[in-house]
Amino acid sequence: MTLSIGIVGATGAVGRKMIEVLEERVLVNAKLRFFASKKSAGTFLKYNKEKIVVEELTERAMKERFDYLLFAAGSSVSEKYAAIARDVGNVIIDNSSYWRMKKSVPLIIPEVNASVLGGYRGIIANPNCSTIQMLVALAPLHRKYRITRIVVSTYQAVSGSGQAAIEELESQLVDSNYPNKVYTRKIAGNCIPHIDVFHENGFSKEELKMVYETHKILDDNTIEINATAVRVPVTFGHSESVYIEFDSEVDREGIKNTLKDASGVIVVDDLAKNQYPTPLEIAGTDNTYVGRIRKDLYNKNAISLWIVADNLRKGAATNAVQIIEAMENIKRKENEKDV
Comparing C-alpha atoms, which of 67, 82, 64 is closest to residue 9? Answer: 82
Question: For residues 74 and 98, what is the distance between their CA atoms, to the nearest angstrom?
Answer: 8
* Contacts of 116 by beta carbon, 8 Å cutoff, 6+ apart: 106, 108
Question: For residues 25 and 78, what is the distance between their CA atoms, to the nearest angstrom?
Answer: 25
* Contacts of 251 by beta carbon, 8 Å cutoff, 6+ apart: 295
Active-site annotation holder among 129, 142, 191, 199: 129
* Contacts of 329 by beta carbon, 8 Å cutoff, 6+ apart: none
Is 129 catalytic? The answer is yes
Is 238 catalytic? The answer is yes
Active-site annotation holder among 142, 191, 215, 238: 238
Q: What is the DSSP string of 80-138?
A: IIIHHHHHTT--EEE-SSTTTT-TTS-B--HHHHGGGGTT--SEEEPPPHHHHHHHHHH
Question: For residues 96 and 229, what is the distance between their CA atoms, to the nearest angstrom?
Answer: 18
Active-site residue list? 129, 238
